[in-house]
Amino acid sequence: MRRILGLGAVLVFAVTACSDEPTAVPTPDGPDFAQSAGAPIYLVTFTGDVTDVPGTARELARSGGFTLRHVREHAARGFSAVVPERFLGTLRSDPRVALVERDGPVSLIFPVRPNAPPWCDTDPSDPRCGGGGGEDPPSAQTTPWGITRVGGSGDGTGKTAWIIDTGIDLGHADLNTSRDCHANFVTRGKNSPKDGHGHGTHVAGTVAAIDNNADVVGVAANAWVCAVRVLDNGGSGTWEWVMNGVNHVAANGASGDVANMSLGGSGSNTTLENAIKDAAGKGIRFSIAAGNSGANANNYTPARVDHANVYTISAIGDNDCMPSWSNYGNPPVDFAAPGVGVLSTKKGGGTTTFSGTSMAAPHVAGLLLLGNVRSDGTACNDPDGNPDAIAHR
């Protein structure tokens, strides 16, 4: 595990929130073909010696009598499909197949809102959500306390952050979304990379809000933020959607880019973990939220991923102490970062305040865009007795 220089999640698979936008139309080259009712989706990864991924996937689909949903050529190379049970044994024994894993639910790491009504997870803009929204935009630019704690804002102009989340408000005046890099992999509800929840917009602002005398400023101010929408309006999704997002980043990102993942589920998902490692192997660095369950992050994915270019982040408050809800464990946690009362950009414009390791990870994503992450002290109240280094420029 890397250290100083160079450097919870709840499984909720809720029905998508109501949307005024039409259901996405399946296309042959995208996240296609609606899942058959009740039929499980399988995630198939090929061995490293398969050179023609699309051709091999089509061959297996023909012989098994199923239709491909999505082909991944850049991360955990393989495909996803509703595979007939009669063909599963043949598929698993094929010498070209390294892994067959059943798809499952994943959720964003919901911001912590003490005593907030239950609808705040799906509608964080409701002013009754205790920091979930309703704030007026500041009349002049504010530097949030977390930005100051990690060493202040730097100039991220020309750098790229991939926000693998609920999307981004592409019209927010304080976010540089002008690069043609956005993608949507959610196959129910709105067919758009635009944020349907608010979580991804908040994450993006902490990473890279523009230094423009309005709203807030990000850690790597002015950097491009790319919306990779893998979670629906309710903050729920599937491992398939998330892997397709990671594959998109691996295909379109470059060494030195940074991806933020403030999402997760309990246990492990080998296919997703391998996809992240494949993308990280191309020089794309990942900042991943440890989770908000007050538990060991080794029991959550993708927080548990171990790679030189993957950083798992716990949360601290302005007293440098870990809140009781932050996941812990060193390893896999590499750094702690501000995650309590974090002011950032809000879907629809202006700013709002959230808390969670979801808010801690983008601080480190911004630092990674600016260079290596150093430390400034250690977090107190770390349950594992091995205090996490606090991330700093």
Local confidence pLDDT in tens for the 393 residues of the chain: 443 333 233 222 222 222 222 222 222 222 322 333 458 999 999 999 999 999 999 999 999 999 999 999 999 999 999 999 999 999 999 999 999 999 999 988 777 765 556 655 555 555 445 444 445 555 589 999 999 999 999 999 999 999 999 999 999 999 999 999 999 999 988 889 999 999 999 999 999 999 999 999 999 999 999 999 999 999 999 999 999 999 999 999 999 999 999 999 999 999 999 999 999 999 999 999 999 999 999 999 999 999 999 999 999 999 999 999 999 999 999 999 999 999 999 999 999 999 999 999 999 999 999 999 999 999 999 999 999 999 999
- Which amino acid is located at 315 in the chain? A
CA-to-CA distance for 264 and 364, rounded, in angstroms? 17
Cα separation values, 7 from 62, 174, 312, Å: 47, 27, 11
Say which residues have a Cβ less than 8 Å from residue 337's Cβ, sequence separation at least 6: 146, 149, 150, 313, 314, 315, 316, 360, 361, 363, 364, 390, 391
pTM score, two decimals? 0.87
Burial string for 335-356 (b: 16+ CB within 10 Å, else e) reads bbbbbbbbbbbbbeebbbbbbb
**What's the length of the chain?**
393
CA-to-CA distance for 73 and 318, rounded, in angstroms? 43
Say which residues have a Cβ less than 8 Å from residue 253's Cβ, sequence separation at least 6: 160, 162, 259, 279, 282, 284
226 three-state secondary structure: strand
CA-to-CA distance for 313 and 301, rounded, in angstroms? 13
Taking domain 106-392, whether its CATH number is 3.40.50.200 is answered by: yes
Residue that is written with structure tokens 């420029």 in the block: 393
The phi-psi region of residue 283 (left if phi > 0; otherwise alpha if psi is between -120 and 50; otherwise beta) is left
| Catalytic residue annotation | 165, 199, 358
